Amino acid sequence: MGTQFYVGQVVEPEDLFFREGFIGELWDVLEKQHAILTAPRRTGKTSVMTHLLHKPADDWLVLYLNVQDTSNPADFYLQFLDEFNTRDPGVFRKLFSKGSLLINKALTAVDSVEVSSLKVAIRDNDKELANKWRDRLDDLLSRIRQVDCKVLIILDELPDMLLAMKKEDPNLLMEFLGWFRKQRLNPMPSRDPIRWLIGGSINLMGTLDAMGLVDRMNDPEIVQLPIFTPEQVGEFVETMLSGQGCIFNADVPAEVAKQLGRPIPLFMQMATQELYRTWRKKERELTVDDVSTVFSNLVTSPEARDKLQHYHSRIAHYYDGSTDPAYSLLNILSLSERGASRKLLRQKYDELQFAAGIERPDHEASRAFNELMLHLENDFYIVEIENDRYDFSGGLLKAWWRKYYA
Ligand SMILES: Nc1ncnc2c1ncn2[C@@H]1O[C@H](COP(=O)(O)OP(=O)(O)O)[C@@H](O)[C@H]1O
Ligand SMILES: [Mg+2]
């Protein structure tokens, strides 16, 4: 394993820590069925997917589509074609060698450098695509099913695409979900060489549930990305620092795990990289005090702020209708010494609703509050530290939130 630091970039397969067993299990699942891999941002989904892409199991062809900025089925189709043609031009051409005038015309245009990409060439030529996306996609998938290997299609950040589709046209979202479901179930997975792996940093099932559409996506197996244990965090720190030739006190790795709280891999990397920089500057043994300094400096470093900022702004993005209470509850927690009881948070929540002029029966307020708490927990902001008591999931996020927002 390499000892290169990654602070936000996708981790290369050879530098990926603690995922070997999980990736093996994931391939086993994919042998049998479609799967959903959801986990909060910055926890390593895309890195795992990249491993599947670059180190596929035997007999698999893997395509990777990040559909974060895709907002309609026609664009999805174009992106799909483009990815296939980029990943394996040979197989792609074989796929379309018969009976597809449009695609062959587009390929010729690309070959003669008339147009910059397949996407553009097809968009220019296929005037009916906006209405006929279903036929086009069906045709593409039935051609893929003729390939003599299994084909894994990874759709990273799919919940974003579904939300964008809904915004553009709610009916189109329904149609797309209907089409997608049919493709996953017919042929049934045991007879289908195609597998879908769906990923995303927002809770897909929660999002679909809120739209009343959970039944459209309940067939794939839901796979959880394992959370690193404190021992693994310690091992990571140990490996990285030793690998760079640092001298450090034996208590340092465990102290990083402790201060990190719930280990978000990105923050684990950032803290360890900062420790390494401290060592370079001071050239003496690193101590537990250095760990504390690193964590308090991280909160104000521009590098960390960039990454942390996202945790704040995504709430405005994704917490439809409960943005303000979400911010307020997190403010309260960030100022607390050791978190707050659920009862107190509920009380604050009711006060806020009252002040905002929102009146509703108690059972509805309860439901909305419970949903908000679940959301915050699912998205890794908070954690139940003991019975009915909640706090920020990690010290870094908490300290940062307190400093900039509370
Ligand atoms: N297995 C891992 N080992 C070490 N660091 C990791 C690992 N997985 C993720 N990271 C860290 O998390 C960051 C984000 O990873 P990424 O795969 O983009 O996550 P996601 O797709 O969930 O947002 C990486 O830049 C790296 O700092
Ligand atoms: Mg990602």
**pLDDT tens digit string along 201-254?**
777 777 787 778 889 999 999 999 999 999 999 999 999 999 999 999 999 999
2 pLDDT more than 70: no
Q: Whose CA is nearest to atom 11 of ligand 1?
A: 266
The answer to whether position 274 is within a domain reads yes
Of 20, 36, 41, 42, the residue with max ligand 1 atoms within 8 A of its CB, to mutate for a pocket test, comes to: 42
Q: For residue 187, what is the DSSP state? A: S
Question: Higher-confidence residue: 124 or 138?
Answer: 138
Out of 285, 300, 315, a domain closes at 300
User: Any idea which residue has 């999002």 for tokens?
Assistant: 207
How many domains does the chain divide into? 3
Separation CA 117–CA 340 (nearest Å): 55
**What average pLDDT does this structure show over 42-68?**
96
Residue 133 lies in a domain: yes
- Our answer on whether the CB atom of 45 is closer than 6 Å to any ligand 1 atom is yes
The verdict on residue 6 lying in a domain is no
Q: Is residue 27 part of a domain?
A: yes
What are 274-311's pLDDT values in tens digits?
999 999 999 899 999 999 999 989 888 888 888 888 88
What CATH number has the domain bearing residue 251?
1.10.8
Residue 278 within a domain: yes
pLDDT for the residue numbered 270: 94
Atom of ligand 1 nearest to the CA of 48: 17
For residue 47, the ligand 1 atom closest to its alpha carbon is 17
Closest residue CA from atom 15 of ligand 1 = 44
Closest CA to 181 of 160, 208, 207: 208
Pocket test for ligand 1, best of 43, 156, 235, 273 (most atoms within 8 A of CB): 43
Is residue 379 scored above 90 in pLDDT? no
Please check whether residue 11 lies inside any domain of the structure. Answer: no
Query: What does pLDDT average to over the chain?
Result: 93
Question: CATH no. for residue 53?
Answer: 3.40.50.300
Query: Which of 165, 194, 224 is the endpoint of a domain?
Result: 224
Question: What's the pTM value of the predicted model, to 2 decimals?
Answer: 0.90
- Shared domain for 27 and 81, answered yes or no, is yes
Q: Residue 64: which pLDDT band, with cuts at 50, 70 and 90? A: very high
Q: How many C-beta atoms lie closer than 10 Å to residue 249's C-beta?
A: 14
- Strand-strand pairing, 194-200 and 35-38: parallel
Ligand nearest to the CA of 38: 1
Residue 167 shares a structural domain with residue 201: yes
pLDDT tens per residue across span 150-201: 999 999 999 899 989 998 999 999 999 999 999 999 999 999 999 999 998 7
Q: Show the domain range for 378.
A: 305-404
The count of other CB atoms within 10 Å of the CB of residue 90 is 7
Q: Which of 12, 88, 91 is nearest to 49 (CA)?
A: 12
Q: Residue 214 falls within a domain, yes or no?
A: yes
